[in-house]
Amino acid sequence: MKLTLPRRKFLESLGAGAVGAAALGLPARAEVSASSQKLPRLLPGCCAYSYKDYLNLKHPAMTLEDFIRKATGLRLIAVDMTAYYMQSTDPAYLASLRHLAYKHAVAFSGAACGVRMVNAGADARKQALKQIKSWVDVADRLGAPHLRVFAGKLPPGRTLREAVGWVVETMKAACDYSGERGIMIGVEDHEGITQNAEVCLEIMHRVNLPYAGINLDITHFMPTPTLDRYAQIKMCIPYATNTHIRDEFDDRTPIDMDRVWRMFAEAGFQGYMSVEYEKELFHGEDAMTGVPNLVAEVRRLCKKYSSV
């Protein structure tokens, strides 16, 4: 797909450091991030997905209530409430989770749903938007200020340009809805069309709304002939609404975590560095030991690079 932003201009903007809002034609919120570069706030968090083997609703060995309580023992500031493990979306249940988190002084960094926005059919896109709106309502009742969504994979026989257009269409409408409730929508650089930072930024450029951002998973970018994974992470930091943190890329190459934190700090990022542990990527180590080990490293780096 030929990007709307001329490639030369795009790459020239990178030469000065983080992507400039003016170069991309993005709203002024990115400029605010740039102006606070000396005041990074990198706060340790964890995604409920990290305990997916225990939170599985078919055979649960753990509940989201247990996860919230566990966060206090891990000395986390916030947790990301993965929607897959909610027992229901009944308002009373959501209120009980919100109350429990408050009682334990644990913030909700956001909620995460599995809705995908790459849909060739107009009816399918309408249905995806309806689902996103319903999860925005869930996040609102939880008191979570952010909702993670996916773009998705490119369907056979369709073009990347078409797919980006579908994502932009859906995300614009979703952000119009979420913005009325003060909730950010973050599209994750997950498997599919958003494993390339230039595509992620093209989506941000075209959506161009203050409640749109990137749920920045440092794991998933695919290197290109001109951009390695670290360059792509850096490009997206000014538009990061939330992060997902592992210490290996998808191909199991170790991530230089210190380098990543330094990039976030230099960009003046203010937000949560949320562990998203997955046993399959960590040599089979069980979450009950693997998550605390990774959280300890995240907490160390947040203390090293944060202003708090």
| Phi, psi (degrees; rounded to nearest 5) at 306 | -100, 160
Which of helix, strand or coil describes residue 55?
helix
Residue 5 and residue 202 in contact, taking contact as beta carbons nearer than 8 Å: yes
Instruction: Give the per-residue pLDDT at 210.
Output: 97
pLDDT tens per residue across span 80-138: 999 999 999 999 999 999 999 999 999 999 999 999 999 999 999 999 999 999 999 99
pLDDT of residue 307: 73
Please enumerate in sequence order all residues whose Cβ is within 8 A of that of 117, keeping only pairs 6 or more positions apart, or say none. Answer: 125, 128, 132, 149, 150, 151, 152, 166, 167, 170, 171, 187
Average the pLDDT over 230-248 and give the result. Answer: 97
Query: Chain-wide mean pLDDT for the chain?
Result: 89
* Beta carbons within 10 angstroms of residue 8's beta carbon: 8
Question: pLDDT tens, 186-217?
Answer: 999 999 999 999 999 999 999 999 999 999 99
Q: What secondary structure letter does DSSP report for 253? A: P
- The closest of 165, 141, 146, 147 to 155, measured between CA atoms, is 165
Which helix (H) or strand (E) is 45 found in, with range?
strand 41-47
* 113 phi/psi in degrees, rounded to 5: -115, 170
> CA dist 70 to 104, 111, 112, 247, 271, Å?
10, 18, 19, 21, 21
Residue of 75, 45, 30 lying closest to 267 (CA atoms): 30
Task: Compute the average pLDDT of residues 252-281.
Answer: 95
Q: Where are the domains of the chain?
A: 33-305
Looking at 61-159, list the stretches that DSSP marks H as alpha helix, in order from N- to C-terminal side: 64-73, 91-103, 122-142
Res. 249 pLDDT band, cuts 50 70 90:
very high
Overall pTM > 0.85: yes
Single out the residue of 265, 209, 203, 205 nearest to residue 237, CA to CA: 265
Structure-block tokens of residue 101: 């988190």
Core vs surface per residue 240-250: b (16+ CB within 10 A) or e? bbbbbbbbebe
Tokens (6 digits) for 275: 């562990």
CB 93 within 8 A of CB 64: no
Residue 25 DSSP one-character state: T
Confidence at residue 59, expressed as pLDDT on a 0 to 100 scale = 87
Identify the CATH assignment for 33-305 out of 3.40.50.2300, 3.20.20.70, 3.20.20.150, 3.40.50.300: 3.20.20.150
Q: How far apart are CA 258 and CA 141, in angstroms?
A: 36
- The token duo for 89 is 């979306």
